[in-house]
Amino acid sequence: MTAKLTLTLAGALVALAGAAFAQPDHEAGVPLSPAEAAGGWTVETGGHPICMITLTANHGAAPSGTCGDALPAGIAGWQPTAGGMALTDGSGQVLVPFNRWSNSLFVSHRSSGTDVQLMRGPPSGQ
């Protein structure tokens, strides 16, 4: 290979690598699909797991145990939203909206100033 071709290829690789690092997470801000929702999710606040919630592909939701002040009572379902998803009551009324941050993390900024996170799977370490 000539020195010029080597430098051109090296420059192209550097440009591609820079573009790859500059790309945002492609899932952030994307509505949750039923297939992605199905399964167990950990509800966390202040860096501590509070409870688990099971979401179903047919838009059902069932908290296991009490979630304290992290989630309101009456959660029965979920629905996709433009930026992620929302937990709803039995009539479909939105109780808690969540913004999607990644494939497995949704965050709700509560009016109390506390963030509630919904993370795919059981709490870390379990």
pTM: 0.76
- 105: containing domain: 1-126
The pLDDT value recorded for residue 10 is 39
Neighbours of 71 (CB within 10 A): 23
The pLDDT value recorded for residue 126 is 58
Q: Identify the residue whose tokens are 């509505």.
A: 31
Residue 12: C-alpha distances to residues 20, 21, 22 (Å): 12, 14, 15
**CATH number for the domain that contains residue 82:** 2.40.128.10
The pLDDT value recorded for residue 81 is 94
The pLDDT value recorded for residue 9 is 36
The pLDDT value recorded for residue 58 is 96
User: What is the number of domains present in the chain?
Assistant: 1
Which portions of the chain are predicted below pLDDT 70?
A: 1-26, 125-126
The pLDDT value recorded for residue 69 is 86
The pLDDT value recorded for residue 23 is 38
